[in-house]
Chain A
């Protein structure tokens, strides 16, 4: 975006402090526009005709440096790109990398349906919600338009996830579009050979299109400038993801170059989302485990450095779980607090016989422990000690988790073991076992040592609770 202070935004707002946006003042709303936690359209008065000029000007000023491209329709539509910074600590990255997994038009129908269901059904719990996959990439390995059309039709009947139609043959892409245009798929890809036909398809159906120019940034920019000239703005750039050797090093640097040109140098001609294709790992690795590993390695590299949408093949859990978590790692908003408020929380409906469990106030630790307890229907008290947002093992080593801090947590919460429990017992994390003696001395409580990982609390409870 082209502004860096709320004041610059404020002068485009109605300045009436009407509160319709949910903020007390227009200045507060301006701050939210600046950190992108609110949108211009969240100001109802600004939508009025008399403000139309200001609305348009402000929207232009606030537009992200990298174009945001939307694919798909409805709840599963994906936003691709839209970043404003090169490093996440400078603000945050927006629109987590969209992960697409492939099917082919030469698969049997049964195989295809099974695979699509596995892609759309995958979920992995993380800090209070489930991480999922976003798209299905339908590859034409037959190069037969009719066959591709059938496959695309079957996939879109099976899932609501948006599609990427993959072929370098425009006739094949046209056939796929015939049965999926209303779902706004991404076209993959336009090249220097097929650009005329593919641009016509993209113009006609208003679908996003990927420009593919492996290893040649001049050619990629040539395509981008030409497509823009033809009025096609929903572009995604694929500079080619070479799977190994010096070509991979060049690929990495190409991603850096394009993104730096777009964000740091404001080169609008090249400021589009980037596609990486870690799936090419399968071109150079025979062994499927080795290929899957290398694919995840490539996916990680390009999640960290500027891949906005990626196509992968492996749907093994050992590929998908790290892939969704590295995406979360990079796209988690660094402005959100690292820690939860210290205190004694109730999980479920604890009674006097329920356990009292200690953990730290590092947000990830807290949410992990909390979900392990609630998911397994364990009613208990969960005390979060103020460890400056550091996890259990590190805070025991670093002196942020001590017996005195544990006592202080219960004291400050007004938690009286005599009144609230029948057992006068506190459970420490297994990784804090060395604090046992100290905690007994400082609090006068019975201290039990829980498992080193809260995922094992259910099993631990079977043999250790209630205390004898």
Chain B
């Protein structure tokens, strides 16, 4: 478990208690400014606070141990230098003091998992948005973390790439990886997450399985929008009233 207990970060989060489970996809949702990215960064150990990994405070781990265990994909997707896709993915091996052969194998596996082998020697600057998003995720996968925390990984991706990435996250969860995604699309959270944490003004407004945490009442209370869930249980759509 990766758990925050009464996490308070002045001006951003107030008394937030929430946990991520291994083998599950957890969606973190909420209006703009609700503290989603801050909570994710706290789970990643980038903001100090009472967050514990299987009972051990994150602060008690060395930066290297933490980096080996928790993979973090920021929203901005910055790559300062025009690296090749392979070199970019290999940066994920930085926390590991392993042999060259192990690094090679992990990097190749990450590229293969995201169907990027034929892009391996292409430079990042020449990729399309979807290819770039996959290359950045390959960097995280190459580090073989037990936890993957991604900040709006689906933003700016077309439908096919969104689906491909969501399948990848599901596959990783099936292998035991704990996944947390900051999402804006509530239908994605409802259909693809195992648990949802709803934040409002830095506090947890609702938490639980999607059908319990993301009810029409919660959406009205948190977003101030009257919306209705429609469609079958595995492919819910959120309809907004015109008025």
Whether A and B are associated in the same complex: the answer reads: no
Chain B residues at the A interface, C-beta cutoff of 8 Å: none
Chain A residues at the B interface, C-beta cutoff of 8 Å: none
